[in-house]
Structure 1
Amino acid sequence: MRIFMNTTTSFNLQNYTFVLPEERIARFPRKNRSDARLLYVKENSIQNRNIVDLVDLLQSGDRLVVNNTKVMKARIHTKRKTGGSVEVFVTKVHDNRHCSALIRPSRRIKEGEQFILDREHTITCLRRNDVDWTLHCTPSVSSIMDSFGSIPIPPYFKREANEQDEERYQSIFADEEGAVAASTACLHIDQTLQARLIEKGVGISAITLHIGTGTFAPLRQEQIETQKLHKEWFSISEQTVQDILETKNNGGRIIAVGTTVTRCLESVAKKGSFIAQSGETDLFIQEGFSFQVIDGLLTNFHLPQSSLLMLVCAFGGRKNILDAYHHAIQEEYNFYSYGDAMLVIPDQHL
């Protein structure tokens, strides 16, 4: 495998800051997935393109790797028997009837308390943990989420989820339920663009990484110093491993569609053997990281001082990426989950 190391190291969060006008935050999706704009960052150049230009920018023999995670209807609004409103936010499903969840407000919630949604659906608070609760759901976790849950759109949308979000905050690849946030880079690819890429000779493979609540949490200095983030569950199949190795052996490029795909692939490679597996990763990719798998990155524009922005800077070079962000702001690109995209191809990967 070709290895690229960005050797510039600086972990001061102030180095990952930019000022974004409020109107550049996309709170609703564009009319069509493939209407998104694309900022193409190659070597030291920046080009204004459109997401459909991926067909021209990628080469026959390249391979996109997407995340097929599906966002759960994790946000459930209910009431206590006292009449007080409560939000239950499912973070992880353990089995058919048990899950972990955040409860807001939780200060007065007691172990054994029940939330009765209707005659058939009940949530029982079994145990308070450090930051969340273990819950028992009747008749099942999935039945409660399907009947009473809503898609947990990001807080910076500053609105409630609607029916459009149920479709557009999921990618066309989403079929493995378990995430609380979307793999947003995958949101731009529709069936037509997918078909055109395949016709061009670009392969498409999938991994699963269930994005957790940690993706929204502010970075702590401890995480920066230990180079470890919140844990997220991932899985990579034997077929995807074979596809990636074959692509590289044939001289093709691996283009990660999103930071979650990058985290999964590089976590597997970091273990020493690039083989099919499932497990959890706490990998924190910062400047100085040796990339062993990906040769390009298709990603959205991320929040300042976030681990996601740090990952992109580690791959494309902090100055290049922040220059690209400033260019995107000036050119009125849309930012964050429903925003536009950027394709980063460092010179070292060609």
Structure 2
Amino acid sequence: MELISDYEYTLPQRLIASAPPEERTSAKLMVIRRDTGLFEHHGITQLPGLLQPGDCLVINNTRVIPAKLQGYRTSTEGKWEGLYLGQAEGGAWRVIGQTRGKIQPGETISITPAGKEGEEANPDIPLLELELIERNSEEGSWTMRPRSETPFLELLDVYGAMPLPPYIKREGEKPFDRERYQTTYAEEPGSVAAPTAGLHFTPELLDQCRQRGIEVTSVTLHVGLGTFRPMKVERLEDHQMHAEWCEVPAETVEVIQRTKASGGKIVAVGTTTVRTLESASQEGELKPWIGETDLFIRPPYEFRTVDQLLTNFHLPKSTLLVLVSALAGNKLISQAYKVAINKEYRFFSYGDAMLIL
């Protein structure tokens, strides 16, 4: 029986990366070789040489939206904080929020324009009012209607901030967050968290991979609120995985099938890419697919499409750490994390990476 307590470890606070490295490609890269159980230590710039010509990198092209909202209850002026989760019918928003007291349908929340850390919000920008329509059972969220005809992405760009993970302890977003908490290949808006393994890539690094004969193709998975939520059960089999929207286009399936037919490896960039590809492979063979997935990849799991994985270092007792362990084995991953702590790798979203071969 797999228990969540099997995925616990102690991390010194100083190793939590609260800011990105100076350059995207300055991250360290630990290589785990499953065939020998040995670890190697490189930099992310050495990735092309660690992969083989004929391999295929699969990236997640989702785009993080500035979904974090701040304001106050219009009736009491009590502080309110929330997170935009997605669109509802008729242009309404799905939002999760917290405030003192119990809010009721019909109330309004006044959203203040987002200000950068150390800056005052522009007083010339009016407040955005959100009317509470109804409370949803799903995730404890609300359906709210903005009192504005402006498209939601334009509103979020003004009133929202980047939804940095809760373990990054600072007030407000810094000027670099809008650029650095986003992959350089982000295209499809919809995530409330970054697919962090992709944060290390520059266009130049991807070109170096292509020049080595490595194909690059993409899927989309919009990372949801559940990525921040810890598991609250002891047995992994009792955990209900959150659902996330994803898509595997037909052209991506063709590239992957061609790669496999020629003996190349499928290298997923990030756990979100793994989840997307494996969700589209549940009938045994990868097919074009679009929809929501609640697939929980945990040991023992037979991977149908993904062969190798580039990923960051994940939170203790998280579904992401469980997924990585399903690919490489809990014992080997536990050893790797101990080595990473000893060698002072940087952990979590803005941290360093590991490559599982």
Pair in the same fold by TM > 0.5: yes
Give a deviation string over 1:34-75, Cα, whole Å, max 9, x none: 000000001211001111111110111101101111111111
**1:297 corresponds to:** 309
Q: TM-score, normalised by structure 2?
A: 0.90
Of residues 181, 186, 201 in structure 2, which corresponds to 1:174? 186
Confirm or deny: 8 A CA contact 2:61 2:218 kept in the other structure: yes
**2:60 corresponds to:** 67
**2:91 corresponds to:** 97
Residues 111-260 of structure 1 correspond to what in structure 2 (within 5 A)? 111-117=105-111, 119=126, 121-130=128-137, 131-137=140-146, 138-139=148-149, 140-159=151-170, 160-221=172-233, 224-226=236-238, 228-260=240-272
Confirm or deny: 8 A CA contact 1:101 1:135 kept in the other structure: yes
Superposition deviation, residue 162 in structure 1: 1.6
Distance in 1 between the 2:294 and 2:235 partners?
Answer: 10
Distance in 1 between the 2:24 and 2:305 partners?
Answer: 27
Confirm or deny: 8 A CA contact 2:96 2:142 kept in the other structure: yes
Paired AA for residue 155 in structure 1: P
Confirm or deny: 8 A CA contact 1:227 1:285 kept in the other structure: no
* Greater shift in the superposed pair: 243-252 or 272-281: 272-281
Superposition deviation, residue 18 in structure 1: 1.1
Distance in 1 between the 2:213 and 2:313 partners?
Answer: 27
Confirm or deny: 8 A CA contact 2:285 2:304 kept in the other structure: no
Alignment partner of 1:15 is 2:24? no
2:186 partner SS: coil
Superposition deviation, residue 251 in structure 1: 0.7
Superposition deviation, residue 108 in structure 1: 2.2
Of residues 16, 24, 39 in structure 2, which corresponds to 1:46? 39
What runs of 5+ residues in structure 2 fail to find an aligned partner? Answer: 112-124
* Greater shift in the superposed pair: 102-111 or 242-251: 102-111
Superposition deviation, residue 96 in structure 1: 7.3
Paired AA for residue 128 in structure 2: H
Of residues 16, 32, 38 in structure 2, which corresponds to 1:25? 16
CA RMSD of aligned residues (A): 1.6
What runs of 5+ residues in structure 1 fail to find an aligned partner? Answer: 1-9, 346-350
Distance in 1 between the 2:135 and 2:62 partners?
Answer: 28
Distance in 1 between the 2:89 and 2:20 partners?
Answer: 33
**1:76 corresponds to:** 69
The number of equivalent residue pairs is 336
Q: TM-score, normalised by structure 1?
A: 0.92
Paired AA for residue 143 in structure 2: T
Q: List 4+ stretches of structure 1 deviating above 3 A.
A: 116-121
* Greater shift in the superposed pair: 103-112 or 47-56: 103-112
Paired AA for residue 114 in structure 1: T
Distance in 1 between the 2:73 and 2:201 partners?
Answer: 42
Confirm or deny: 8 A CA contact 2:284 2:304 kept in the other structure: no
Distance in 2 between the 1:324 and 1:64 partners?
Answer: 23
Query: CA separation of 1:92/1:171 partners in 2, compared to 1, >3 Å: closer, same or farther?
Result: same
* Greater shift in the superposed pair: 66-75 or 103-112: 103-112
